[in-house]
Amino acid sequence: MNTSSPTRVRFAPSPTGYLHIGGARTALYNYLFAKINGGSMVLRIEDTDRNRYIKDSEKQLIKDLKWLGISWDEGPDVGGIYSPYTQSERTKLHRSHAEQLVNIGKAYYCFCDKARLQSIRSKHKGYDEHCREIDTDIALERVTSGEEHTIRFRSPKQGTTTVDDLIRKNITVKNEQLEDFVLFKADGFPVYHLAAMVDDHLMGITHVIRGEEWLSSIAKHALIIRAFGWSEPIWCHLSVLTQPGGKGKMSKRDTKTDEQDDNHSIFIHDLRSKGYHPEAIINWMVLMGWSLDDKQENFKLADLEAVFNLERINPSPAAVNFGKLDHFQGKHIRQMSDSEVAANIQPFLLKSGITPDKEMLLKLVPLIKNRITTFEDSVEWLSFFFTKEIMLSPSEFTNKKSTKEETLVILQEVKLTLEQLPKYKHENIESELRLLADKMNLKLGQLLNPVRLAISGQKVSPPLFETLELLGDYLVNSRIEKAIKLLENI
Ligand code: GLU
């Protein structure tokens, strides 16, 4: 590896599904490593496995990465000097490289069809090398005559292959374990192993930072590169992400983790639609397998661009902890200005059919800023401010502590007190209602609970005195009156 060349990294997703935190973390680490070294990041779409291809996932992937704040210098959407960046548009290059390996004896044409391969599967662990020794000229003739074929790598059968990983150090594989794997398929597409190595070389990639799942292919990759006589990139295989509680590896095909609930998902677009902030997700993800000094845990993307390093990557499995995500989300919300929070909340209110008055929303934000986790949570906290009719269920007004009659008296007294207020300000509301509770020999909570229910339809609401002030006397009175009528009629 020529260390004097400028750093070039790549994120090379396959468009086989939506971006999840495993892929996003890999993209993030690549992005940060390029930034800190003043290098470049390439986005390469690895779409040569046509069976697993999912239309639209590339578009969504780009959208999700951008939303997180991760950008790249070259890629299918922005172009670059090594265009094209979509592998299916590079198959000619892959083919010519595979043929090059055949020409130098490092690969060979294989004419075994599916049926044959199936029939040997039970007897052999891998391919039985049936076509390995076919004479090159004869093989070439068969290829030229149009016979269906693949190109296989001529793996060494003796000795070992050792690869150096930046974090894991030497990884040695016994060559006898390697089968003669396919490089180029009969369908005209390369296999990922060949395509990725050819493209990494042609695109001048200096560091390959990727998921641990590719560690098992490292010998294949190194052998391909060495067969061409190219220099190897610096390899860096990240830690595996495990399900919360260490219950096993989290895979790309998992749509759920055990801890996953309505708010939590491993997919970036789900987290986005739930109202998580991208900076909170970044902060959460970067610490899954990396730390600066085991102390600092609050990071923004811009901070990370100045401090990230590969040396501090921890190869041990990292658990996905959604509680931590909520923790960072809370922190990020608290750091935002009220108007920023309002701007983030607004789309969720609109989605639920509420068109909030901007000024009013800005007044409400301080009441809930410390109470919400996701921006979507705000809908539950605030919708009663904006809906004309709230739903009341009479059974909720009575409980062990107060009978229907007692609740009725409370609501009537509160209504009377509020109607007589000279100023409808939360300070006045508070002092008068405290006095009333004393006078009625009730605990403040006993007095306020039915009021809260009457004006919000909920047992939980933002702080009640401020809520009453912001709802305004007209709405408060009419809602309490409605509750009174409801109770009188049961
Ligand atoms: N296309 C592979 C994936 O989807 C990338 C492997 C690599 O980074 O080399 O994960």
Alpha carbons 414 and 477: distance in angstroms, whole number: 10
Residue 272 amino acid letter: R
Maximum CA extent, the chain: 106
125 in active site:
no
Q: 97: pLDDT confidence band, cut at 50, 70 and 90?
A: very high
Q: What is the mean pLDDT of residues 159-174?
A: 96
CB 487 within 8 Å of CB 408 = yes
Q: What is the mean pLDDT of residues 431-458?
A: 96
Task: Give the pLDDT of residue 249.
Answer: 67
pLDDT tens for 356-409 read 999 999 999 999 999 999 999 999 999 999 988 898 888 888 877 778 899 999
Alpha carbons 15 and 13: distance in angstroms, whole number: 6
pLDDT tens for 120-152 read 987 877 899 999 999 999 999 999 999 999 999
Q: pTM score, two decimals? A: 0.89
Q: Whose CA is nearest to atom 3 of ligand 1?
A: 13
* Average pLDDT of every residue of the chain: 93
Residue 101: which of 51, 64, 153 has the closest Cα? 153
Phi/psi for 96 (5° steps) reads: -65, -30
Give the total residue count for the chain: 490
What separation in angstroms does the CA of 476 have from each of 174, 311, 415, 486?
77, 60, 8, 15
Residue 205: which of 229, 226, 223, 232 has the closest Cα? 232
Q: What is the mean pLDDT of residues 208-228?
A: 96
Residue 186 amino acid letter: A
Sheet holding 150-153, edge to edge: 107-110, 150-153, 182-184
pLDDT tens for 247-291 read 666 654 444 444 456 678 999 999 999 999 999 999 999 999 999
CATH architecture of 268-334: Orthogonal Bundle (1.10)
CB 24 within 8 Å of CB 60 = no
Number of the ligand 1 atom closest to the C-alpha atom of 196 = 9
Taking the chain, what is the end-to-end CA distance rounded to the nearest angstrom?
Answer: 83
CATH code reported for the domain at 394-488: 1.10.10.350
* 12 Cβ inside 6 Å of ligand 1: yes
- What is the dihedral sign for C-alpha 314, 319, 325, 331? negative
Q: 49: pLDDT confidence band, cut at 50, 70 and 90?
A: confident
Q: Where are the alpha helices (DSSP H) in 287-372?
A: 301-307, 322-335, 338-351, 358-368
Q: Per the structure block, which two tokens stand in for 63?
A: 């959208």
Q: What is the separation of C-alpha 153 from the centre of its chain, rounded to a whole number of angstroms? A: 36
Task: Give the pLDDT of residue 255.
Answer: 45
* 260 Cβ inside 6 Å of ligand 1: no
Task: Quote the ligand 1 centre to 214 CA distance (angstroms).
Answer: 8
Q: What is the mean pLDDT of residues 321-349?
A: 95
Task: Give the pLDDT of residue 53.
Answer: 85
Task: Give the pLDDT of residue 257.
Answer: 45
Domain 337-380 -> CATH class: mainly alpha
CB 345 within 8 Å of CB 376 = no
Q: Is the pLDDT score of 475 beyond 60?
A: yes
Question: Which residues of 1-44 form beta strands (DSSP E)?
Answer: 8-11, 40-43
Task: Quote the ligand 1 centre to 12 CA distance (angstroms).
Answer: 5
What separation in angstroms does the CA of 358 have from each of 33, 291, 338, 397, 432?
41, 40, 12, 33, 30
Task: Give the pLDDT of residue 409.
Answer: 96
Q: Where is 152: in which H helix or E strand?
A: strand 150-153
* 14 Cβ inside 6 Å of ligand 1: yes
* 7 Cβ inside 6 Å of ligand 1: no
CB 80 within 8 Å of CB 41 = no
Alpha carbons 436 and 414: distance in angstroms, whole number: 8
Q: What is the mean pLDDT of residues 52-67?
A: 93
Number of the ligand 1 atom closest to the C-alpha atom of 10 = 8
**Domain coordinates in residue numbering, the chain:** 268-334, 337-380, 394-488
Task: Give the pLDDT of residue 205.
Answer: 98
Which one from 252, 331, 425, 482 is the annotated catalytic residue?
Answer: 252
Q: How many CB atoms lie within 10 A of CB 54?
A: 13
Q: 350: pLDDT confidence band, cut at 50, 70 and 90?
A: very high
Task: Give the pLDDT of residue 253.
Answer: 47
In the DSSP assignment, the letter for residue 420 is: T
What b/e sequence results for 92-110 when a residue is b if at least 16 CB atoms lie within 10 Å of its CB, and e otherwise? ebbbebbbebbeeebbbbb
Beta pairing partners, 108:
152
